Structure 1
């Protein structure tokens, strides 16, 4: 966890509360990132405003008035969406699910600020809303946000009361194609096909109480502030040394000039102060805002990279007076990582280099909503981290977020799990002109400012499709203005030297080039820039349909409007190997034509976006996992294909009807040169010739009850890996397994627990072909949200669902009352199952708490 050393002279060794990636509270309260609290006491207090709102799903006149009676409205906590009940609920069309509610709604929250805060600065931050929010405090409109993507904030100092009750009222509006109020221009990315609709306050809300001389927030729209920028320079990887630079924006809103000193504590993950950087005193005139710059050469650093995502907390401290005898007035921590990144073109030395090492980037394209069935887009942060765990464990190191910027929670996840991110701002699938292009530039500016301390972001995406050379120059200039030193590149998907895709000038203006389905590759771009394949393997298949030989489906029989007809076996085996090989076999510094620096498979999780299973499924079925994050066979085969060590996976199961004979597929990593297939210890196949480097096929294997084993051998004939699957008996019972956030389920009104329900045989093994209805009853202080069957419209938020391949998952939401919650599952002919979780109290006083939301 890093070597403990004495900090710089004059700084006492201490342990910082909540080191990088952890959650804790100190005197300063919850931070902007939601991950750490400042160890240095100051006047800054950050309140978590997520609990205890009132909500109504309609537009109500005069709802902003403090005296408005909202007692009949629903009691909810944030994150919250009203589209959890109507998404994943109907068949997908070419524009996504069309029946979701898109309308104005209202939220109201009451709170009392302590009288002791009187005279201080008060700011609100929302981590995002879809699509617009008009915010009122005590009946006065404090601002409007319409971009629908980024975090945003408002100054409410002049509207709040101290020692008396306040009311925040928010009119949130996800109406389809809601135009910008001032210009009447629609936002290009406000579309449900590439940006699934989840209306409401779907992300964290917090309130900052700050001294009148303070560090600003990285929220440009409305507040016009840029926060603190932290970055390394002159990185010596082998010497574990770099110059750490801090550019902190400080504002003096007092009536007289103030002399201040900015310092920064660089804190290791074990809580020890690696170094303290102290600047010289600066005098700020009344009303002045200034960026104060610090830098210091620091040795003994650990660098962030995929596989070893080391994070530091840089705690910035603002003191009035000099560096020795000054009085601390403001302090807050920034969770970040230090690394070196280089982006090179060429067939031999080209590619992406992180910390002086060439890294082939491999992973997934992910819808930035990253939604779950049954809970929609209002996902507790600890569940977002489950994505990170699974993506990392599948040996992926890349996510290309699609069309709109990933949420702060998702980027905190990629920072923590060492997953390189391609972060867009907002677009659809074309360039734009006029006001729509200006909106894209403004949104990219906000994204750059907010996320530029996140080490996992290596790429900013200026467009999901090609843009003109002039527009690309604007975007690269924007990066040079707001993120000049972060080790990141600006580019977009589909630019090429072909004039139909921007031409050579667009390629020259970009800092990396993206392609889609290998359609936009060009040697001109390859020789000059790294090329990232942004989305491939679009073939779609559901988790429940194993193959052509497994009951109850015996193949994927589809409707007339369906484009793809693949079983899970097809999707995870022949198609996965063929589509991945196209980029793996042509990777930079690899075999073949050495084209690509990275590739992202579409998509990570089955989504509520547009799809090509028209009028047939309630989700687009391209994921490595399904819409509730149960692994599909494709997750295992991608794990193998991306593995840096020997690995293999037998695709499918080994519980078939008598007389079955079929091709058995085994996916093996590139280390394997021969796969032997054994049935109950006897060889039934031996394949020395992989298809597309990874896939081994064994035709006509007759099923026999027992165990099938695949054994992988290296080029020298030595066994290096093996895996087995075993026949199960008939299902005899149900089994429930609960899952909660670390520390348990919180009674905060928004936290989620989920239960895996399995049909198991007499030995407790999941029966892989069980598909039947299970009914659920819930007792205790929680709401049952149910689960999801993609082939059945109307399956969400019901007290029943079917198992699929022997398993499914249901969700509950905690209420504000702590206590024991018990779920019971029943199905005809199976022994019932019962499981319990206990929610823990979540204290809120006068509408306020400094206790953070649940995370990892």
Structure 2
């Protein structure tokens, strides 16, 4: 058993934060944006005297790709949106005269990609990897007491991603000001090397930086409890002895360590995400020069080869999903509420873990995971030196892999949610004789920055006798190989195993095709996929195959399903993915993949988003949601029937009925007549009545558990579409210009019953201090702009996303109308921020 005592950082942006609000401020407002290169010499967009008044004014975060337009000729693999190309961002600001004696930095949480930064015409830094957070020092070229011009150039190359990456400065930007003597960037690291029920030892490492003259310094740390919102509560629970430094040299960094004893610690876990904060105070010449807050959690983590994850001494099965970074109709531009909504929906399904595929997430994602109680496997790369696309990370690997990997770990190593670091996903070097040495090199970089967590990777190759990769990481992740679990465990019984990517079942919400087949290649029509949840690409399977693999091999730590939500790009099985052939080392398999690719390339595929999600792109639950909920929340009385029961063309025809339930027995009734009672066997994960003959009316399932009534579900035949019904996920909002309400419109008959096959066009209008920012319906084939106020319902549902206006409180009215149907309104209340 390898035990990992652990704690981590949970600050709102995942890094050390100055206590003085004025010292670290959002720098998102009032930028000027231009797509393309301005006229003139190279770098003309950085010139301080450039007239940019005609440029578009906007606030960050911003994704220029999501604005479209969709075009059929663009790759479906990356969403049929124009995310590539050069773009410029400029901001003019006045620096106070007092900045002359301070260090001034710009922190960019994410810019896609190849960002270069100028201040007053002088290049001050940049970073090519679009998923890395980075800092540039503005101090040398800043003009205190005068106007300054900041410029950022993005050069996002085409053919550089396998999914929709977004384009632009798509995460938050911060202006940070510090005294010459301060804590360095990401310069605190909190660990708990000794954890007992009655006491925990908390070690705080501080990297102190002095950009001024030599000086004496004193550093001390205090620990406070945090409430659920991340606010300090009560007095200090522990206080370190001050560390006195007689001299910190000019231009030097010094690493020091402090140790504190925390009595009666409350452990962080998904069930109870209790956090603390270490407040580190730096003084020089008798004055406080910096104060840094580092939120963390106390917990122990171990992976046992025979049992899986042991958290705080208890076995915790990983019930995880993989998630890309886009936010559906909002694109890649970060919005905290949109992220939180995704996590809320997943948590209700029973998800307790996220794999951040295939790159570092926004810092806010990790803050939410800390607060809400999700386990995180943070992944660094989708490719190493042998790239999968012409312009992907393979071009950066040699120069940047160490910088990117260290930046990821140092930024995020204080988050209690993170349980493992993944060094890569399905990298092509798996097939190279010396590839394992690259894996060992990357894992060693991770360990040099953080020895409190294990390393892993997602492997999709199985090499006879294995090829050394299994020794390079601490936990072996298998992608789509449940049959390999017992073989690997027998060959290496000391190495923990996890399903790092599983199932890849595909479906379209509300679509059902007949006849129903267990052949995973069937169930496809009209660029949609049947929601009987039996269809999958050739490398993948229905969910049950992985369930059986886990149940038959309880030493496996759990699974990360591909994927929690649909995402932009990769519309498999209608995807001409040029990387498919690269993932096969067997010549015959590669030849078959290349032939399929050639055939697919002849077809004009309209799809712009994936079918893998358990939840669709709009955030509407697919049938599969309830299959996983039944497995992951066995204590929840639930039942879910499929398909819907509106099939006038199928009267008298066999229409199979499936039931997902946490119960163990169920009886099915059609119009009050029993169609039989069925029991679930040990490896039955759904109940099936495959010979039901369709008749309109009411289909009802009555579910039992241990012989007692447990849950019920009914689907009914609806009449003609007659009305719209609106519901908002939240009606109380903050007037901060960022908060969102996700408003669902459902098409119903005159009795209020959902009309599941309706596709009426719905128009949305918003009045009051709010604005409509996007619409969607979850249809992967829709190429209507996400900014359109009109959206056809897809199988009875559509979505409007409404945002508040900054500083404007009051009632917001959202109205939905559709020709021939009774309209609907819903009122939201936008409140002034405290």
TM-score higher than 0.5: yes
Q: How does 1:468-617 map to 2 (within 5 A)?
A: 468-484=435-451, 486=452, 488-494=453-459, 498=463, 503=467, 505-518=468-481, 521=485, 522-524=488-490, 527-546=493-512, 548=514, 558=525, 566-571=529-534, 579-587=542-550, 591-610=551-570, 611-614=572-575, 615-617=605-607
- 1:110 maps to what in 2? 92
State the shift of 1:108 in Å: 1.3
In structure 2, the CA distance between the partners of 1:217 and 1:438, relative to structure 1 (3 Å rule), is same
Establish whether residue 665 from structure 1 lines up as the match of residue 647 from structure 2: no
Quick one: distance in 2 between partners of 1:140 and 1:837?
Answer: 47
SS of the residue corresponding to residue 140 of structure 2 reads: coil
State the shift of 1:489 in Å: 1.0
In structure 2, the CA distance between the partners of 1:825 and 1:453, relative to structure 1 (3 Å rule), is same
CA distances 1:52-95 after superposition (whole Å, capped 9, x unpaired):
11111121142222332211111111111111122776488574
Establish whether residue 147 from structure 1 lines up as the match of residue 129 from structure 2: yes
SS of the residue corresponding to residue 403 of structure 1 reads: coil
State the shift of 1:172 in Å: 1.5
Normalised to the residue count of structure 1, the TM-score between the two structures is 0.81
SS of the residue corresponding to residue 626 of structure 2 reads: helix
Q: Contact conserved, 1:795 with 1:801, CA < 8 A, in 2?
A: no
In structure 2, the CA distance between the partners of 1:822 and 1:648, relative to structure 1 (3 Å rule), is closer
Q: How does 1:428-827 map to 2 (within 5 A)?
A: 428=383, 436-465=397-426, 467=430, 468-484=435-451, 486=452, 488-494=453-459, 498=463, 503=467, 505-518=468-481, 521=485, 522-524=488-490, 527-546=493-512, 548=514, 558=525, 566-571=529-534, 579-587=542-550, 591-610=551-570, 611-614=572-575, 615-652=605-642, 654-657=644-647, 659=651, 662-669=655-662, 672-679=663-670, 683-690=674-681, 692-701=683-692, 707-715=698-706, 717-739=707-729, 743-747=733-737, 752-779=740-767, 782=771, 784-788=773-777, 789-812=779-802, 818=808, 822-827=813-818
Q: Contact conserved, 1:362 with 1:396, CA < 8 A, in 2?
A: yes
State the shift of 1:516 in Å: 1.2
CA distances 1:788-818 after superposition (whole Å, capped 9, x unpaired):
5422323432232111222110234556673
In structure 2, the CA distance between the partners of 1:511 and 1:633, relative to structure 1 (3 Å rule), is same
In structure 2, the CA distance between the partners of 1:333 and 1:453, relative to structure 1 (3 Å rule), is same
Q: Contact conserved, 1:655 with 1:726, CA < 8 A, in 2?
A: yes
Q: How does 1:81-96 map to 2 (within 5 A)?
A: 81-86=63-68, 90=72, 95-96=77-78
Q: Contact conserved, 2:503 with 2:540, CA < 8 A, in 1?
A: no
State the shift of 1:42 in Å: 5.1
CA distances 1:741-764 after superposition (whole Å, capped 9, x unpaired):
9643433xx654442222233344
Moved more, 578-587 or 350-359: 578-587
Gaps in structure 1 of 5+ consecutive residues: 1-18, 23-30, 178-190, 219-226, 843-850, 852-856
Match of 2:326 among 362, 370, 386: 370
Q: Contact conserved, 1:546 with 1:568, CA < 8 A, in 2?
A: yes
SS of the residue corresponding to residue 630 of structure 1 reads: coil
State the shift of 1:155 in Å: 0.9
In structure 2, the CA distance between the partners of 1:840 and 1:648, relative to structure 1 (3 Å rule), is closer
Q: How does 1:238-277 map to 2 (within 5 A)?
A: 239-269=197-227, 271-272=233-234, 273-277=236-240
Moved more, 734-743 or 768-777: 734-743
Normalised to the residue count of structure 2, the TM-score between the two structures is 0.83
Quick one: distance in 2 between partners of 1:109 and 1:840?
Answer: 29
Q: Contact conserved, 1:142 with 1:154, CA < 8 A, in 2?
A: yes
SS of the residue corresponding to residue 366 of structure 2 reads: helix
SS of the residue corresponding to residue 478 of structure 1 reads: helix
Q: Contact conserved, 2:775 with 2:788, CA < 8 A, in 1?
A: yes
Quick one: distance in 1 between partners of 2:73 and 2:373?
Answer: 36
Establish whether residue 203 from structure 1 lines up as the match of residue 171 from structure 2: yes
Q: Contact conserved, 1:515 with 1:533, CA < 8 A, in 2?
A: yes
Q: Contact conserved, 1:735 with 1:760, CA < 8 A, in 2?
A: yes
- 1:69 maps to what in 2? 51
Q: Contact conserved, 1:604 with 1:625, CA < 8 A, in 2?
A: yes
Quick one: distance in 1 between partners of 2:98 and 2:696?
Answer: 74
State the shift of 1:412 in Å: 2.0
In structure 2, the CA distance between the partners of 1:458 and 1:817, relative to structure 1 (3 Å rule), is closer
In structure 2, the CA distance between the partners of 1:328 and 1:644, relative to structure 1 (3 Å rule), is farther
Establish whether residue 342 from structure 1 lines up as the match of residue 302 from structure 2: yes
Q: Contact conserved, 2:201 with 2:259, CA < 8 A, in 1?
A: yes
In structure 2, the CA distance between the partners of 1:726 and 1:640, relative to structure 1 (3 Å rule), is same
SS of the residue corresponding to residue 84 of structure 1 reads: helix
Quick one: distance in 2 between partners of 1:547 and 1:306?
Answer: 39
State the shift of 1:546 in Å: 4.2
CA distances 1:425-447 after superposition (whole Å, capped 9, x unpaired):
12338857897245333321211
CA distances 1:372-408 after superposition (whole Å, capped 9, x unpaired):
12x2111311110111111111111122222222221
Q: How does 1:163-182 map to 2 (within 5 A)?
A: 163-176=145-158
Match of 1:388 among 340, 343, 348: 343
Match of 1:830 among 798, 814, 821: 821
State the shift of 1:595 in Å: 5.0
- 2:578 maps to what in 1? none
In structure 2, the CA distance between the partners of 1:459 and 1:776, relative to structure 1 (3 Å rule), is same
Quick one: distance in 1 between partners of 2:312 and 2:544?
Answer: 27
Quick one: distance in 1 between partners of 2:540 and 2:633?
Answer: 14
Quick one: distance in 2 between partners of 1:78 and 1:378?
Answer: 8
SS of the residue corresponding to residue 413 of structure 1 reads: helix
Q: How does 1:110-149 map to 2 (within 5 A)?
A: 110-149=92-131
SS of the residue corresponding to residue 123 of structure 2 reads: strand
State the shift of 1:114 in Å: 3.3
SS of the residue corresponding to residue 446 of structure 2 reads: helix
Quick one: distance in 1 between partners of 2:727 and 2:261?
Answer: 50
In structure 2, the CA distance between the partners of 1:113 and 1:681, relative to structure 1 (3 Å rule), is farther
Q: Contact conserved, 1:90 with 1:794, CA < 8 A, in 2?
A: no
Q: Which of the two has greater helix per residue?
A: 2
Q: Contact conserved, 1:129 with 1:199, CA < 8 A, in 2?
A: yes
State the shift of 1:482 in Å: 0.2
Establish whether residue 216 from structure 1 lines up as the match of residue 184 from structure 2: yes
